[in-house]
């Protein structure tokens, strides 16, 4: 199988069957794709790269890898409140392994179809396994959710019910936590099959004042909101959502996973704390079918303070993931 057969068979054939030809008049096959923007909308663009051994283990099923490569990118669109439109795929592969490619494409296109997003181009080369996706999405002009909009007095929220499970799975793979059977499968699914909060992100336009997705750990990513907005925050660590599996672990591991875990792909966001603001967040959560949990508030004093459920200040011993530290 040559490069062009590979592209045709695994990628071009399913690239935009689920998208109107009007939206993408030219997809895979020419030097560039041609995409029609929706009038009145702004484009949002983001890239994320997955490197074997760094972002995923060689044990991951190809289908889950295809899913995750797109999911982590859609999560960035979700954080900005964007509707996904198109993506490109730059793929470096050791060899044209058909079983791998078929599984990878299946996971990739299942998620692409669910979100109505077309694969419009890419690049394919031989080399170490490396997957880079660029996503493009749209928001009505001026309505993108940004990190910089948090205001003193805002409530802080996190989406989902299983923050920290992906990190718990990583600890199982590292051999530091024993977990087997269905409990292990559950946290492994969180790590390998994250569900980007695309519907919630769009529902939060005009509701949230700031947002980010949690890829490197709650505290680190929240720190980006605080820095960009020039504010501080207080987080109630006992308010963090946790799965029954994580809740069975010892308290320090629970906190490490929830606060500094990474790979969660939940949204952290702030919104006005008055009754109307809280009702709007609840309505966005209900409309998108996504649970959200209030975990703290934005404060004027810079920095991040952690409290337990009884209100006692805790030391912040957690650091988020940094590739070059």
Residues that bind Mg ion (CB under 5 A): 123
Q: Is 91 in the site for ligand ADP (CB under 6 A)?
A: yes
CB of 123 to Mg ion, least distance (A): 4
Comparing CB distances to ligand ADP, the nearer of 112 and 177 is: 112
Give the one entry of Mg ion, ligand ADP, none that residue 71 binds, where binding means its C-beta sits below a cut-off of 5 to 8 angstroms depending on kind: none
Stretch that binds ligand ADP, among 25-33, 133-141, 253-261, 267-275 (CB under 6 A): 25-33
- Please report the sign of the dihedral spanned by the C-alpha atoms of residue 271, residue 276, residue 282, residue 285: negative
The owner of tokens 């292990």 is 184
DSSP output for 184-249: HHHHHHHHHS----HHHHHHTTTT-SEEEE-SS-HHHHHHHHHHHHT-EEEEEGGGS---HHHHTS
Comparing CB distances to ligand ADP, the nearer of 93 and 177 is: 93
Report CA-CA distances (Å) from 12 to 4, 8, 41, 68.
10, 5, 27, 20
Q: Is 17 in the site for ligand ADP (CB under 6 A)?
A: no
Give the one entry of Mg ion, ligand ADP, none that residue 30 binds, where binding means its C-beta sits below a cut-off of 5 to 8 angstroms depending on kind: ligand ADP
Comparing CB distances to ligand ADP, the nearer of 101 and 170 is: 101
Q: Which of 258, 153, 272, 298 is nearest to 209 (CA)?
A: 272
Q: Is 7 in the site for ligand ADP (CB under 6 A)?
A: yes
Report CA-CA distances (Å) from 217 to 86, 112, 264, 291.
27, 26, 8, 19
Q: Is 89 in the site for ligand ADP (CB under 6 A)?
A: yes
Comparing CB distances to ligand ADP, the nearer of 7 and 70 is: 7
CB of 121 to Mg ion, least distance (A): 9
Comparing CB distances to ligand ADP, the nearer of 29 and 302 is: 29
Q: Is 109 in the site for ligand ADP (CB under 6 A)?
A: no
SS3 260: helix
Cα separation, 234 vs 58, in Å, equals 38
Q: Which of 175, 159, 178 is nearest to 290 (CA)?
A: 159
Q: In this chain, which of 113, 124, 273, 316 binds ligand ADP, going by CB under 6 A?
A: 124
Stretch that binds ligand ADP, among 118-126, 162-170, 239-247, 309-317 (CB under 6 A): 118-126
Q: Is 119 in the site for ligand ADP (CB under 6 A)?
A: yes
Give the one entry of Mg ion, ligand ADP, none that residue 156 binds, where binding means its C-beta sits below a cut-off of 5 to 8 angstroms depending on kind: none
Per-residue tokens: 2:
């040559």
Comparing CB distances to ligand ADP, the nearer of 42 and 92 is: 92
Give the one entry of ligand ADP, Mg ion, none that residue 91 binds, where binding means its C-beta sits below a cut-off of 5 to 8 angstroms depending on kind: ligand ADP
- Count of residues engaged in binding ligand ADP, rule: CB under 6 A: 13
DSSP output for 262-312: -----EEEEE--SHHHHHHHHHHHHHHT--EEEEEEEESSSEEEEE-TT--
CB of 131 to Mg ion, least distance (A): 16
Comparing CB distances to Mg ion, the nearer of 131 and 226 is: 131
- Please report the sign of the dihedral spanned by the C-alpha atoms of residue 94, residue 99, residue 103, residue 105: positive
Give the one entry of ligand ADP, Mg ion, none that residue 130 binds, where binding means its C-beta sits below a cut-off of 5 to 8 angstroms depending on kind: none
CB of 102 to ligand ADP, least distance (A): 14
Cα separation, 83 vs 140, in Å, equals 10
Summarize as ranges the residues that interact with ligand ADP (CB under 6 A).
7, 11, 28-31, 89, 91, 119, 121-124
């Amino acid at each position: 199988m040559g490069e062009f057969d590979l592209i045709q068979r695994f990628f071009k054939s399913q690239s935009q069957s689920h998208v109107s030809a009007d939206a993408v008049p030219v997809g895979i096959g020419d030097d560039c794709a041609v995409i029609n923007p929706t009038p009145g909308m702004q484009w949002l663009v983001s890239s994320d790269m997955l490197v074997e051994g760094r972002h995923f283990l060689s044990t991951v099923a190809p289908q889950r890898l295809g899913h995750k490569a797109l999911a982590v990118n859609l999560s960035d669109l979700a954080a900005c409140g964007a509707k996904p439109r198109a993506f490109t795929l730059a793929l470096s592969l050791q060899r044209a392994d058909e079983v791998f490619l078929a599984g990878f494409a299946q996971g990739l296109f299942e998620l692409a179809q669910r979100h109505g997003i077309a694969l419009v181009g890419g690049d394919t080369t031989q080399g170490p396994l490396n997957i880079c996706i660029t996503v493009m999405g749209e928001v009505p002009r001026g309505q993108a959710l940004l990190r910089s909009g948090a205001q003193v007095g805002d409530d802080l929220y996190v989406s989902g019910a299983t923050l920290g499970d992906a990190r718990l799975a990583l600890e199982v793979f590292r051999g530091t936590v024993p977990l087997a059977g269905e409990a292990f499968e559950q946290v492994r699914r969180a790590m390998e099959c994250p569900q980007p909060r695309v519907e919630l992100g769009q529902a939060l336009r005009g509701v949230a004042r700031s947002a980010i997705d949690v890829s490197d750990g709650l505290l680190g990513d929240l720190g980006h909101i605080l820095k960009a907005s020039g504010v501080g925050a207080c987080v109630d660590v006992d308010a963090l959502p946790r799965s029954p599996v994580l809740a069975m672990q010892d308290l320090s591991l629970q906190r490490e996973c929830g606060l500094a875990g990474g790979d969660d792909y939940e949204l952290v966001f702030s919104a006005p704390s008055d009754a109307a603001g809280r009702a709007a967040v609840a309505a966005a959560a209900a409309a998108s079918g996504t649970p959200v949990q209030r975990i703290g508030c934005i404060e004027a004093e810079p920095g991040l303070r952690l409290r337990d459920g009884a209100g006692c200040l805790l030391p912040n011993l957690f650091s988020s993931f940094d590739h070059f530290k």
